Chain A
Amino acid sequence: MISFVLNGENVETASLPSSRLLDILREEFLLTGAKEGCGEGECGACSVLIDGKLANSCLIAVGSIEGKKVMTIEGFSETERFRVLSDAFAEVGAVQCGFCIPGMVLASESLLSVCAKPTEEEIRIALSGNLCRCTGYELIVKAVQLASERGAGTVWTAGI
């Protein structure tokens, strides 16, 4: 048995330690917010937060997360920080097909949680592991800027 914390709850899985975390999340826990876009760490559609850090769950063996905290978009979408990001994404129109979007939101959170007031370049670097084929990134970058303007000092406090 491998136990870890999933979206704030203690859980266990009997799957092989070598199973991909992405498959366990999607198939065993029915959390399909993390997507498979490439299966090899290139696209970021499968992003989750592990102990607060952005990770591609398609490259993570479930055996390696024993005792760790895994946050998926389903868990994150219950938080106040998500609401600030979501409002900003809505306002600027940053969502198109939506396939990359859960990963983009988690990548944004992982940046803002360590750097509440990033520069545009820092945002672009932080999002560069998450591919989007629809938006040209422009409005996603704007959304993160807007979220930062609104949430820095309140929901995100690091580095201010």
Chain B
Amino acid sequence: MRSMSISRPVKRKDFDEKISGRAKFVDDYQSPDYYHACILRSERPHARIVSINIPEIPEDTWVARGRDVPVQNRVLVDIPDQFILNDVEVEYVGEAILIVVAKTKAKARRFMEQISVEYEDLPTCFDVTESDTILHDCRFVKGDPDKVFNEAHEVFEEVLTTGFQEHAYLEPQGIVAEYRDGYMTVCGAMQCPFYIHNAIKHAFGFDDDHVRVIQATVGGGFGGKEDYPSVVGLQAALASYVSGKPVKLVFDRQEDIISTTKRHAARMIYKTALDEEGNILAMDVNVTLDGGAYLGISTTVIERSLVHCLGPYVVDHVRAYGCVKKTNQVVTGAFRGFGDPQTIFAVDTHLAHIARHLGRDHVEYRRSYLAQQGDRTATDGLYRDPVFIREMADKVLEQSDYYAKREAYSKDTGRYRRGIGIGFLGRGCGFAGFAERDFVKGVVRIRKHADDTVEALVSSTDMGQGIHTSFCKVIAETLEIPLSQVSCPRPDTQRVPNSGPTNASRSMQIVGRMLQRAALRLKDEWIPGKEQVIEEHYREERDAVNPWNTKTFNGDGFATYGWSTTVTEVELDTVTSEVRLVNIWGVFDIGRIIDRNLVEGQMHGGLVQGYGYASMEKMEIENGVIMQDRLNNYIIPTAYDIGGIHVDFVDNPYEAGPFGAKGAAELPFCGVASSYVNAVENVTQRVYLSIPLTPEKIFESLQEEV
């Protein structure tokens, strides 16, 4: 069983330097030559800047403004809409106005505090339902929903909402930049070095060779270091460009929370047409995401929300519309799941509510709509690979002893009452449609040195998920050489080709596959003692059954799909309305496991982050000001908040993935919210339409009659 040995855990390559504190995160880079940057930020949600009063600038201090950017004062990720620095008309509290550079952070801050800004306030909007600025929208239709809705016996309608979420990576954002002799080098916390590379070229007009981007050890990303480091990178680069000094720009926690992207808050209207027997005939879905002040990368986020609007369920007639609306609030961006945790929560919860409304068992009712191989996706693509979600449901129900507990807990009467709930999910792995082929066009390189050690050269970043170790395993296993002979350095754009960004759970499935193909070629061509370089390019390995159409949103949205089911067991204190997570079970289909330890770690981390999202991670923005702007008021789960976590897998090798692997890291996050809400509903016998489902909301619900 050679192919299964890939799953056996190894010690991760960066383990020793991390456990001993030797690993260098961006703030750990120190040099007596460094200068430090501070950013003056808007205090108003929408205002014209009338004047900026800057006292005489002392020696060895600089002030950088938007007009100092040589080519275009904009941040290019998808589109160049946000400003690097904006001193004309600010659109949200926390938007960067100017940068101060000085020898120490304290000096920079002291000078910054003497600068005053005169604002003229402009009209604001903080509520998507009141916003009339649509930043982007999209829609699709499958079947004939108009006709089916007209003939329906009943239409069941709900409005479900989800809140903002803060990434709360433990390491705040930061970049060190150095502009010297016409070359710009930046190094720091990032998921996507070539995003920053591209953004710097665009804003400064440098060519490829004059920009170098290097990843430092990254202290967690979860999407938060996908798009936003382009902003930080450009700001640090500009600070160095203006001062001529190497400049370090590292945020403190509060600055990080108020200025960096969040998960999109969402408002989702689900209408479901039912026949007399309660069968689902058609669905109409309307999703609004809060984009904040700029579109940023939200185009892809709303598209992802929409194509996942049915979650793991099959419905023949669908009408779906999604939009991103503008508000004068912090910009929303990439976050583990990328738009689908919202709709997956909504559709799963909605189906459970339909069952409740019909007086049916919500597990059986939902189960009967779960996809099977050969079924059609929301966009009329084909689930062509084996789908085991029903078997996985059986497994998780049995492992958690679901039915016995549900029965037993329904008789709980004391102060502490338990409940158990379940959620189901299916989601596309990697990018939608032909993005890999047409836009990313990823490249990887394997370099064999004269001493026969092998290096994987890729732009994929390890931010904790362990992908570099997993890549080394794929190569070592393919070449049948010891793992110690293979390494994967942190990317430096001067050394690695662009294998695409690190996001969308694409790294193992796409980049890992290219590395496996490169390793297979190297194996054939291996000449001991000789330096050899093998390059591989992305290619589609199987033809789409129903090719994706980006205009109509019809076809195979994804090459393949990941599946999971989550059972959550909770205990409610009926006096305080506090909920304790007693146990959580997850069964996952991620193809084949590349390293059991690393994958379990991803599943645990995703489940707990998903639990935080569902239950306690409340972020309120009042008049544009984030209320929970520190780690003492934005509350994430601690070790003491979590009971037992139990994860299991089905082995379902994906034919176009390395050793059968497919996307993994986002999956565990996306299925917790509906499972958690379902568990609390089973205790309180109330219906909830919104997350985070906090103790305050539960308390309120308990004041109402059932």
Cβ contact within 8 Å between B169 and A97: yes
Contact residues in B for A123 (Cβ distance below 8 Å)? 639
Q: Does A55 contact B (CB under 8 A)?
A: no
Task: Say which one of B322-330, B562-570, B630-638 lies at the interface with A.
Answer: B630-638
Q: Does A128 contact B (CB under 8 A)?
A: yes
> How close is A6's CB to chain B, nearest CB, in angstroms?
14
- The proximity string for B residues 42-53 relative to A, scoring 1 for CB distances below 8 Å and 0 otherwise, is 000000000000
> How close is B644's CB to chain A, nearest CB, in angstroms?
8
Q: Does A140 contact B (CB under 8 A)?
A: yes
Known: A42-B632, A124-B639, A127-B639. A93 touches B600 (CB 8 A): yes
Task: Say which one of B7-15, B143-151, B545-553 lies at the interface with A.
Answer: B7-15
Known: A125-B640, A133-B168, A137-B642. A40 touches B605 (CB 8 A): no
Contact residues in B for A138 (Cβ distance below 8 Å)? 604, 608, 642, 645
Contact residues in B for A95 (Cβ distance below 8 Å)? 12, 15, 18-19
Q: Does B21 contact A (CB under 8 A)?
A: yes
Contact residues in B for A129 (Cβ distance below 8 Å)? 638
Known: A73-B21, A134-B605, A139-B601. A39 touches B642 (CB 8 A): no
Q: Does A35 contact B (CB under 8 A)?
A: yes
| Alpha-carbon distance between A73 and B15 when the two chains are bound, in angstroms | 14
| Alpha-carbon distance between A39 and B221 when the two chains are bound, in angstroms | 19
Q: Does A89 contact B (CB under 8 A)?
A: yes
Q: Does A4 contact B (CB under 8 A)?
A: no
Q: Does A74 contact B (CB under 8 A)?
A: yes
Contact residues in B for A127 (Cβ distance below 8 Å)? 638-640
Contact residues in B for A34 (Cβ distance below 8 Å)? 21
- The proximity string for A residues 76-119 relative to B, scoring 1 for CB distances below 8 Å and 0 otherwise, is 01000010001001111111111111100100000000000000
Cβ contact within 8 Å between A40 and B631: yes
Known: A77-B20, A124-B640. A136 touches B169 (CB 8 A): no
Cβ contact within 8 Å between A128 and B638: yes
> How close is A46's CB to chain B, nearest CB, in angstroms?
11
Contact of B605 among A45, A92, A98, A133 (CB under 8 A): A133
Q: Does B607 contact A (CB under 8 A)?
A: yes
Cβ contact within 8 Å between A45 and B19: no
| Alpha-carbon distance between A46 and B222 when the two chains are bound, in angstroms | 22
Cβ contact within 8 Å between B171 and A139: no
* B562-609 with Cβ < 8 A to chain A: 597-598, 600-601, 604-609
Cβ contact within 8 Å between A99 and B20: no
Chain A contact residues: helix, strand, loop or mixed: loop
Cβ contact within 8 Å between A96 and B21: no
Task: Say which one of B22-30, B389-397, B412-420 lies at the interface with A.
Answer: B22-30
Contact residues in B for A91 (Cβ distance below 8 Å)? 11
Known: A93-B12, A95-B12. A40 touches B632 (CB 8 A): yes
Known: A35-B27, A43-B631, A140-B639. A132 touches B19 (CB 8 A): no
Cβ contact within 8 Å between B608 and A137: yes
Known: A124-B639, A133-B220, A135-B605. A99 touches B19 (CB 8 A): no
Cβ contact within 8 Å between A30 and B170: no
Q: Does A38 contact B (CB under 8 A)?
A: yes
Chain B contact residues: helix, strand, loop or mixed: loop
Contact residues in B for A86 (Cβ distance below 8 Å)? 16, 19-20
Q: Does B218 contact A (CB under 8 A)?
A: yes
Cβ contact within 8 Å between A101 and B9: no
Q: Does B172 contact A (CB under 8 A)?
A: yes
Contact residues in B for A39 (Cβ distance below 8 Å)? 252-253
Cβ contact within 8 Å between A98 and B14: yes
Contact residues in B for A100 (Cβ distance below 8 Å)? 170
| Alpha-carbon distance between A73 and B218 when the two chains are bound, in angstroms | 19
Q: Does B219 contact A (CB under 8 A)?
A: yes
Contact of A72 among B11, B21, B640 (CB under 8 A): B21
Q: Does A151 contact B (CB under 8 A)?
A: no
Q: Does B80 contact A (CB under 8 A)?
A: no
Q: Does B217 contact A (CB under 8 A)?
A: yes
Contact residues in A for B233 (Cβ distance below 8 Å)? none
* A33-66 with Cβ < 8 A to chain B: 33-43, 45
Q: Does B489 contact A (CB under 8 A)?
A: no
Most chain B CB inside 10 Å of its own CB: which residue of A41, A45, A93: A93
Cβ contact within 8 Å between A139 and B172: no
| Alpha-carbon distance between A99 and B632 when the two chains are bound, in angstroms | 18
> How close is B624's CB to chain A, nearest CB, in angstroms?
23
| Alpha-carbon distance between A129 and B641 when the two chains are bound, in angstroms | 12
> Which A residue sits closest to B645, measured CB to CB?
A138
> How close is B170's CB to chain A, nearest CB, in angstroms?
4
Contact residues in A for B463 (Cβ distance below 8 Å)? 97
> How close is B249's CB to chain A, nearest CB, in angstroms?
15
Cβ contact within 8 Å between A132 and B640: no
Known: A134-B464, A137-B639. A99 touches B170 (CB 8 A): yes
| Alpha-carbon distance between A96 and B21 when the two chains are bound, in angstroms | 13
* B347-377 with Cβ < 8 A to chain A: none
Query: Can you add 13 more A-B contacts, CB < 8 Å, to A93-B9, A134-B605?
Result: A30-B30, A32-B27, A33-B21, A89-B19, A97-B18, A98-B19, A130-B639, A131-B168, A133-B169, A133-B222, A134-B601, A139-B601, A141-B639
Question: Which residue numbers of B lie inside 8 Å of A, CB to CB?
Answer: 9, 11-12, 14-25, 27-28, 30, 167-172, 217-222, 252-253, 463-466, 597-598, 600-601, 604-609, 630-632, 636-642, 645
Q: List 6 A-B contacts (CB under 8 A).
A: A33-B21, A93-B601, A98-B23, A137-B608, A137-B642, A138-B645
